[in-house]
């Protein structure tokens, strides 16, 4: 399975993303754990418009988040760097 860093460095096809999502959801249920950061990393591509705005220093108080900022937001930023 791809690690979190690989989600950012590997160009995945939509089918691959769907397969990984199913696998993470299954593991999440089986082990009663939380893979929300991995799932978010999987779907935040480098060409995501809100991310591009943040990288261009057009930063809103919510950053790239359209809803509540998740607890893992800071960690996800560090992984991206």
Between CA 69 and CA 1 the distance in angstroms is 26
CA atoms of 12 and 58, how far apart (whole Å): 27
Q: Is the full-model pTM beyond 0.85?
A: no
Q: Could you report the per-residue pLDDT of 22-47, keeping only the tens digit for each?
A: 999 999 999 999 988 888 888 776 66
- Average the pLDDT over each of 8-12, 39-43, 48-52 and give the range with the smallest value: 8-12
User: If pLDDT is split at 50, 70 and 90, which confidence band does 1 have?
Assistant: very low
45 touches 8 (CB < 8 A): no
Q: Does residue 54 contact residue 61 with C-beta atoms inside 8 Å?
A: no
For residue 2, pLDDT over 60 is answered with no
């Amino acid at each position: 399975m791809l690690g979190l860093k690989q989600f950012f460095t590997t160009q995945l096809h939509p089918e691959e993303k769907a397969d990984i999502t199913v696998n993470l959801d299954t593991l999440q249920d089986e082990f009663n754990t939380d893979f929300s950061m991995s799932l978010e990393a999987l779907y935040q591509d480098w060409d995501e418009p809100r991310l591009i705005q943040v990288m261009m220093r057009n930063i809103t108080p919510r950053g790239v988040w359209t809803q509540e900022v998740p607890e893992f937001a800071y960690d996800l930023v560090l992984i991206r760097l």
